[in-house]
Chains A and B, each alone.
Chain A
Amino acid sequence: MAQVLPDERELRRVIGDGDTIADGEVEGLGEQELVDLYRSMVVLRTYDERSVVYHRQGRIGTYAIFWNHEAMQAGSVYALDRDDWVFPSYRESAIGLLRGMPVETVLSWWRGHPSGWWNPLDYNVASICVPIGTHVPHAVGLAWGKKLRGEKTVAVAYFGDGATSEGAFHEGANFAGVMKAPAILFCNNNQWAISTPVSAQTAAETLADKAVGYGMPGVRVDGGDVLAVYEATREAVERARAGDGPTFIEALSYRAAPHATADDPSAYIDMERVEEERQNECLGRYARYLWRIGVLTDELEEQIRGEALQAMKDGIAAAEAEPSADPELVFRHAYVNPPPSLSEDLAELKRVLGNE
Chain B
Amino acid sequence: MSEKTLVEAINECFHVELERDDSVMVMGEDVGRAGGVFRATAGLRDRFGPDRCVDTPLAEAGILGSAIGLCMAGWRPVCEMQYDAFSYPCLDQLITHVGRYRWRTGGAMEFPLTIRMPYGGGVRAPELHDDSPETYYVHTPGVKVAIPSTPADAKGLLAAAIREPDPVVILEPKLHYRTMRGEVPDGEHVTPLGKARVAREGSDVTLVAYGSMVPLSEQAADELAGEASVEVLDLRSLKPLDEDALLASAAKTGRVVIVQEAPRVAGFGAEIAAILAEKAILDLRSPVLRVTGYDVPYPYWQIEDAYMPSVERVTDAVRKLLRF
A335 touches B194 (CB 8 A): no
A309 to B219, CA, bound (A): 74
B interface residues, how many (CB within 8 angstroms): 47
B73 touches A149 (CB 8 A): yes
Q: Closest CB of chain A to B87's CB: distance in Å?
A: 14
A126 to B108, CA, bound (A): 12
A-B contact pairs, 19 of them (CB 8 A): A85-B72, A126-B72, A134-B93, A137-B61, A137-B62, A138-B65, A138-B66, A140-B69, A141-B72, A148-B25, A148-B51, A149-B74, A174-B59, A175-B57, A175-B62, A333-B107, A335-B142, A340-B240, A341-B241
Q: Which of B95-103, B116-124, B178-186 contacts A (4 or more CB under 8 A)?
A: B95-103
A104 to B301, CA, bound (A): 59
A interface residues, how many (CB within 8 angstroms): 44
Q: What residues on A are CB-neighbors of B71 within 8 Å?
A: 141, 145
B93 touches A127 (CB 8 A): no
Q: What residues on A are CB-neighbors of B56 within 8 Å?
A: 175, 178
B62 touches A171 (CB 8 A): yes
Q: Closest CB of chain B to A255's CB: distance in Å?
A: 24
Q: Is residue A144 contacting chain B, with contact meaning CB distance below 8 A?
A: yes
A178 touches B57 (CB 8 A): yes
Q: Closest CB of chain A to B36's CB: distance in Å?
A: 19
Interface-centre pick from B25, B107, B110 (highest chain A CB count, 10 A) = B107
Q: Which of A322-356 contact B (CB under 8 A)?
A: 332-337, 339-341
Q: What residues on B are CB-neighbors of A153 within 8 Å?
A: 73
Binding site for B on A (CB under 8 A): 85, 114, 117-121, 126-127, 131, 134-146, 148-149, 153, 155, 167-168, 171-172, 174-175, 178-179, 332-337, 339-341
Q: What residues on A are CB-neighbors of B59 within 8 Å?
A: 171, 174-175
Q: Mark B49-79, 1 if CB is under 8 A from A, else 0.
A: 0010000110101101111111111110000
Extra pairs beyond A141-B69, A175-B59, A335-B142 (10, CB < 8 Å): A127-B105, A134-B96, A141-B67, A141-B70, A141-B71, A142-B73, A171-B65, A336-B110, A336-B165, A337-B165
Q: What residues on A are CB-neighbors of B142 within 8 Å?
A: 334-335
Q: Closest CB of chain A to B176's CB: distance in Å?
A: 27
Q: What residues on A are CB-neighbors of B109 within 8 Å?
A: 119-121
A175 to B67, CA, bound (A): 11
Q: Is residue B236 contacting chain A, with contact meaning CB distance below 8 A?
A: no
A144 to B67, CA, bound (A): 10
B102 touches A334 (CB 8 A): yes
Q: Is residue B92 contacting chain A, with contact meaning CB distance below 8 A?
A: yes
Q: Closest CB of chain A to B137's CB: distance in Å?
A: 14
A172 touches B66 (CB 8 A): yes
Nearest neighbor of A147 in chain B, beta-carbon distance: B73
B102 in complex: contacting residue of A121, A335, A339, CB < 8 Å: A335
A120 to B103, CA, bound (A): 12
Q: What residues on B are CB-neighbors of A334 within 8 Å?
A: 99-100, 102-103, 141-142
